[in-house]
Structure 1
Amino acid sequence: MGSKAASVLGRHLRSATATATAHRPDSPLAVKELTTTILNHVRLGRLPKAISILFSSATPLPFSIYAHLFRICASSKAIIETRKLESHLVTFNPDPPVFLLNRAIESYGRCNYVNDAEELFDEMPSRDGGSWNAMLTAYARNGRAEDALDLFAAMNGEGVSASEVTFANVLASCGNESDLALSRQVHSLIVKYGFSGNVILESSIVDVYGKCGAMIDARRMFDEIEYPNVVSWNVIVRRYLEMGEGNEAVKIFARLLKLNVKPMNYTVSNAILACSSFGGLREGVQIHGFCCKINMELDGVVSNTLIDMYAKCGDLESARTIFDLPFSKNVISYTSMVSACAISGRMSEARELFDEMPERTVISWNVMLTGYTRTSDWEKALEFLILMRRSTRNVDHVTLGLFLNICAAIPDMNLGKQVHGYAYRHGFCSNVFVGNALLDMYGKCGNLIGARNWFYTMSHSRDEVSWNVLLTSFARRGMSEQAMLVFSEMLGEARPSKFTFGTMLAACANIFALETGKQIHAFMIRHDYDIDIVMTGALVDMYSKCRNIAYATRVFNRTSHKDVILVNSMILGCLNNGMSGCVFDLLDALEEEGVRPDHNTFRGALRACVCDGRVELGAKLFESMSENYYLLPHLEDYECMIELYGENGLMDELEAFLKKLPFEPTTAMLIKVFDFSRKYKWLKLGEWAADRLNELNPSVPFLFQIVDGDIDV
């Protein structure tokens, strides 16, 4: 009996001991149970629940589990769970391993909470290369390139060896800062540390040189890559495209195809975009054929780019054919097709497509609205805006900018002020695009005080465009002196563009400010601005209107390439400065250059013929307009011919010319004919002109009489 009691008591004691052991927080069984529970929640997608269970537990987990959970928090961008996990780790592990703290820094960086990553990095009792790389990655991923470069300098100062990851992040930061000099130094270090031949780093070097605008260096580095991968090809094609060298991007893509490399869909898309940039329809069609060959035509990225390329190259039918392919229709392809129709001015078709879209984004609405503004259909644009406000709350800075453009074009300042109030309430006023649109609206609506006040309110957010808009607003209203004052202020804050100089030269011409115009010209030369054919025309116009035809001629003669607009400006300058004889030399130069004259050229030439009495040449030029250049003469050209014959007393020729008029003569023409008839006593023609004047305006009769063979009014 006693032994049986003892065995029962022993059994109970052993059971109690086992239970106590099992429920100790750090016992293997408790750790296993907690780990299983947490991982089951993670597998079911319940990460917050899993971390909450861990956070409320006093049981430390194996380091591998912490590492696994940090990776999941990072991929899910779960900042709260990352903080809980780090807190639990450091609470129940007084000296956590460095690799786990590195995983925590990585997770903070992926969650876009760099300050948390910085705090943990600074508090680490010891760091390894992975710690520095994790912090560098966090900076680079979150656009804090300057901090990343400073950290790299500190890393070098402490003698920590850089790895491939280090250099990849530093190169990305150099590219974001467009720091070419530092990029070259980092490139040298990569060579020094023996990482030459690493295709990932070499591709990154190509990328950073491209971002810094050094395409010669980028191309040289690309050509040095022994075995470029698909990423390498994508980088060089993309950088050529972004630098405006579409032809070169297409050539690189062709070289890729010759080497039988299968490109990524993004590389194909970039090559198609490159074709769009220079109107390369033939090259685009060839790339389209390649896409069909490798079954990439139905790829969403590629098909949308093909639609855009065909539309920009004027082949809307091919764009529609791709759009109508099976499985091609989605919100992006719909938006691309609507944009294509809008760009081509086919707004009815664009609207039909827009109305049948199964879903719309703010971009879809903006594309349609842009089409209405591009075609200046302001009434439909306003109706569409009302529909948009009723249908969606999705409004971005582009929408507001377009709305303000409509207010400026109508013009309707009260509506513009309402948009201004909406932008202020919803935090859009700090956006420079919206700010400039507001500035333009106030200027075009004639509220120059409002424009000036808003310009100063923009303060640090204003840019070069802001200055140009304000300058143009004053110049458009004939307030050239105020435009000059704004320009002088601008020089202390922003670098003027060629558009700025064009506005300022026009302002100088309006108030005959020759000295200021000369100073602007000198400023452009001193600062190595490209004085292209447009700027040359502005200079010629300014000097001509300021009565300095010698300077205008000098600027004109120094231009190697001359177009019809520039020649017309020079012709007008000669006429306004009493140098009509020079016009005929300009006509000869125009013919030598192979430039086709337009209506303005002939009008200037006919005016010169009137001034110099060159009747025969004038008649020849007039006939040449329609016979040789297929230009129908305008009303002003007929008036010039009447004046040419009349001023030189050739009344027979004048009478014959009037009989051939393809329309009824205007009042101004008839008055001129009457005056010439009276001057040269051409009675019959004078009577005819007077009778026609009376027919045109019977309520106010034109009274005349013939006295002693003269016409008297």
Structure 2
Amino acid sequence: MGTAAPQQYTYQWQCHSRFSATNHNNPSISKVRLPLPRSSKSNTLASNNTTIHPIPTPPVKPHRNRNNNNDDIRKRKYKKKKKNGCGSSCSTSDILRLMDGLRVPVAAAAAPADNGMYASLINDCSDSGAALDLQAHLTRKGRRNPPPPLHLLNRLLLRHVTNGRLDNAHHLFDEMPLKDFNSWATLIVAYAHNGDYPEALRLFLTMLYRQEYHVDMFEFPPWIMACVVDACACTMDMRLGEQLHGCCLKLGHGNHDMFVATSLINFYGRLRCHEAAHRASIGLSQPNALTWTAIMINNSRGERFFDLISDFKEIGRAGIKKNTCIISCVLRACARMHDDGFSGRQVHANAIKLGVESHSFVHCGLVDMYGRNGLLRDAKLVFQTVNDTTSTACWNAMLTSYLRNGLHIEALQFLYQMKADGLQPQEYLLDQVRIACASNGL
């Protein structure tokens, strides 16, 4: 131990001496400063009192496992694919091109009907472009391409309707070699739902009168009859509606199905045939809230106010929950009962219990009811609780209440308040305000 240390220090001193000699010969190198040691301890020669600094070594990178490196590469690739939107899934067009390349027959991929390949592709066609590609693939004509099954075409027809493309649905419907009731009903309901009632009626009559489609009328479900009756009500087709009423009675849908009964009541009520609507409502087995709403709207249109209030009591005894339409119809009847608002206050309390007093229809009905009965203080209190100040219906009802009770100055002030809030009253109310101001010299 005693002899080994001087040899080591001598070797370090020689290296230090050579480096110092080189620095004296080259002045540029002499300006370079060595890094300070990280440790506070230093090696000192006992004989010459010279400090020896250790030579710095570069940092060693930690060893990384090859498996972890591969995992990091996979994660980076996955993130890149996810960022570009090109994951492992492929589009419907890619699958169809693959099936064309493999020459997969339609019949092999079409069965079974619920979980076949084409059924899954139709369910995934959320846009119209993919649905059109699938339609072109299914309806392609050729020797090796037999006609696709009817259930697939009906599914694709429903997909076009769901995507809101009635033009594509009608084009597919015209190209279908066979059609059943589901094909016709899908297109009829789609046109009726989109407001094209004449086209819905035309398709329904075509389905009935063309014998090659093999559609039996006695197999019609009640909902298709209700849809067609509603279309007759919107087109004001009295003759066809009465014929459909007779068909519903023959099929047994008149008094037993509530959807058909509701459609018939709405049909006759819209055509101002209130007695026929009342006869259609007689004998119903278990009317629901929708049927009661149709009955009360018909009584309100026909100004059968006593029947309307009695129906309202019957709804309460039956335990059916009242909606905003029923409450507004009853308030219209209470406004014309001339009982100083007694029945209207009861309906108001009922609306508060049901939690529908904040609805705009109920608000307008309450303001009109209190105004017709001369209870302007209550009308003002109800008007001040209106949340939607941009709706002109309640404003017009309050202005009408002022004019009806002869408060022309208050009506004029209220009109200026409407103008300040940026609301425009109805023209006939402006005429009434002008006439009232001219007659009173205002």
When residues 573 and 699 of structure 1 are mapped into structure 2, their CA distance, relative to the original with a 3 A threshold, is closer
Cα separation, 2, equivalents of 1:431 and 1:385: 33
1:389 correspondence with 2:389: no
Cα separation, 1, equivalents of 2:215 and 2:154: 15
Which residue does the alignment assign to 1:584? Answer: 309
Q: Which has the higher contact order (CA 8 A, sep 6+)?
A: 2
Cα separation, 2, equivalents of 1:508 and 1:698: 37
Letter in 2 for 1:522: G
- Structure 2 counterparts to residues 613-624 of structure 1, below 5 A: 615-624=341-350
> Is the 8 Å Cα contact of residues 464 and 494 (structure 1) preserved in structure 2?
yes
The match for 2:183 among 466, 488, 505 is: 466
Letter in 1 for 2:346: K
1:480 correspondence with 2:191: no
Which residue does the alignment assign to 1:509? Answer: 233
Letter in 1 for 2:176: M
Cα separation, 2, equivalents of 1:555 and 1:385: 60
Cα separation, 1, equivalents of 2:200 and 2:86: 34
> Is the 8 Å Cα contact of residues 383 and 398 (structure 2) preserved in structure 1?
no
| Secondary structure class of the residue paired with 1:663 | coil
Q: Deviations over 1:328-347 (max 9, x none)?
A: xxxxxxxxxxxxxxxxxxxx
> Is the 8 Å Cα contact of residues 288 and 320 (structure 2) preserved in structure 1?
yes
Which residue does the alignment assign to 2:246? Answer: 522
When residues 403 and 543 of structure 1 are mapped into structure 2, their CA distance, relative to the original with a 3 A threshold, is farther
Letter in 1 for 2:122: G
Letter in 2 for 1:467: W
Cα separation, 1, equivalents of 2:361 and 2:166: 36
Cα separation, 1, equivalents of 2:316 and 2:389: 33
The match for 1:692 among 417, 432, 435 is: 417
Q: Percent identity?
A: 15
Which residue does the alignment assign to 1:200? Answer: none
Moved more, 550-559 or 393-402: 393-402
Cα separation, 2, equivalents of 1:478 and 1:641: 32
Which residue does the alignment assign to 1:53? Answer: none
How many Å apart are 1:544 and its aligned residue? Answer: 2.0
> Is the 8 Å Cα contact of residues 324 and 361 (structure 2) preserved in structure 1?
no
Cα RMSD (Å): 4.0
1:636 correspondence with 2:344: no
Cα separation, 2, equivalents of 1:385 and 1:593: 59
- Structure 2 counterparts to residues 369-518 of structure 1, below 5 A: 388-389=89-90, 393=95, 396-404=117-125, 406-407=126-127, 413-414=128-129, 416-424=131-139, 430-440=148-158, 442=160, 450-460=168-178, 462-491=179-208, 492=211, 493-495=214-216, 496-518=220-242
Cα separation, 2, equivalents of 1:598 and 1:698: 29
- Structure 2 counterparts to residues 597-608 of structure 1, below 5 A: 597-608=322-333
- Structure 2 counterparts to residues 334-353 of structure 1, below 5 A: none
> Is the 8 Å Cα contact of residues 161 and 169 (structure 2) preserved in structure 1?
yes
How many Å apart are 1:607 and its aligned residue? Answer: 2.6
Cα separation, 1, equivalents of 2:244 and 2:292: 22
Letter in 1 for 2:302: N
> Is the 8 Å Cα contact of residues 401 and 433 (structure 1) preserved in structure 2?
no
The match for 1:543 among 268, 288, 294 is: 268
> Is the 8 Å Cα contact of residues 655 and 685 (structure 1) preserved in structure 2?
no
The match for 1:680 among 405, 413, 417 is: 405
Letter in 2 for 1:626: I
Letter in 1 for 2:117: D
The match for 2:291 among 566, 579, 583 is: 566
Cα separation, 2, equivalents of 1:384 and 1:560: 57
How many Å apart are 1:630 and its aligned residue? Answer: 4.0
| Secondary structure class of the residue paired with 2:215 | coil
Letter in 2 for 1:432: L
Q: Deviations over 1:669-708 (max 9, x none)?
A: 23442343345343664365345324422999xx999969
When residues 560 and 610 of structure 1 are mapped into structure 2, their CA distance, relative to the original with a 3 A threshold, is same
How many Å apart are 1:486 and its aligned residue? Answer: 2.1
When residues 604 and 466 of structure 1 are mapped into structure 2, their CA distance, relative to the original with a 3 A threshold, is same
> Is the 8 Å Cα contact of residues 296 and 311 (structure 2) preserved in structure 1?
yes
1:552 correspondence with 2:277: yes
Q: Deviations over 1:481-505 (max 9, x none)?
A: 3333322332342132222212111
Which structure 1 residue ranges, 5 or more long, are not aligned? 1-382, 408-412
Cα separation, 2, equivalents of 1:483 and 1:604: 31
Cα separation, 2, equivalents of 1:621 and 1:442: 47
Alignment length, in residue pairs?
320
Letter in 2 for 1:546: L
- Structure 2 counterparts to residues 240-259 of structure 1, below 5 A: none
How many Å apart are 1:466 and its aligned residue? Answer: 0.8
> Is the 8 Å Cα contact of residues 474 and 482 (structure 1) preserved in structure 2?
yes
Cα separation, 2, equivalents of 1:385 and 1:498: 47
Letter in 1 for 2:366: M
Cα separation, 2, equivalents of 1:430 and 1:490: 22
Pick the structure with more helix per residue.
1
Which residue does the alignment assign to 2:376? Answer: 651
> Is the 8 Å Cα contact of residues 681 and 709 (structure 1) preserved in structure 2?
no
How many Å apart are 1:558 and its aligned residue? Answer: 0.9
Letter in 1 for 2:189: T
Q: Deviations over 1:559-587 (max 9, x none)?
A: 12121111011111222333333211211
Q: Deviations over 1:283-321 (max 9, x none)?
A: xxxxxxxxxxxxxxxxxxxxxxxxxxxxxxxxxxxxxxx
> Is the 8 Å Cα contact of residues 651 and 682 (structure 1) preserved in structure 2?
no
> Is the 8 Å Cα contact of residues 452 and 470 (structure 1) preserved in structure 2?
yes
How many Å apart are 1:393 and its aligned residue? Answer: 4.7
When residues 555 and 673 of structure 1 are mapped into structure 2, their CA distance, relative to the original with a 3 A threshold, is closer
| Secondary structure class of the residue paired with 1:389 | coil
Which residue does the alignment assign to 1:625? Answer: 351
How many Å apart are 1:506 and its aligned residue? Answer: 0.8
- Structure 2 counterparts to residues 22-171 of structure 1, below 5 A: none
Q: Deviations over 1:111-135 (max 9, x none)?
A: xxxxxxxxxxxxxxxxxxxxxxxxx
Normalising by structure 2, we get a TM-score of 0.60
Q: Deviations over 1:95-150 (max 9, x none)?
A: xxxxxxxxxxxxxxxxxxxxxxxxxxxxxxxxxxxxxxxxxxxxxxxxxxxxxxxx
Which residue does the alignment assign to 2:8? Answer: none
Letter in 2 for 1:507: A
Task: Compare CA radii of gyration and give the structure with the larger one.
Answer: 2
Q: Deviations over 1:6-27 (max 9, x none)?
A: xxxxxxxxxxxxxxxxxxxxxx
When residues 504 and 421 of structure 1 are mapped into structure 2, their CA distance, relative to the original with a 3 A threshold, is same
How many Å apart are 1:548 and its aligned residue? Answer: 2.4
When residues 616 and 416 of structure 1 are mapped into structure 2, their CA distance, relative to the original with a 3 A threshold, is farther
Letter in 2 for 1:624: N
| Secondary structure class of the residue paired with 2:272 | coil
When residues 578 and 476 of structure 1 are mapped into structure 2, their CA distance, relative to the original with a 3 A threshold, is same
Normalising by structure 1, we get a TM-score of 0.39
> Is the 8 Å Cα contact of residues 122 and 155 (structure 2) preserved in structure 1?
yes
> Is the 8 Å Cα contact of residues 613 and 644 (structure 1) preserved in structure 2?
no
| Secondary structure class of the residue paired with 2:284 | coil
Which residue does the alignment assign to 2:7? Answer: none
Which structure 2 residue ranges, 5 or more long, are not aligned? 1-83, 97-115
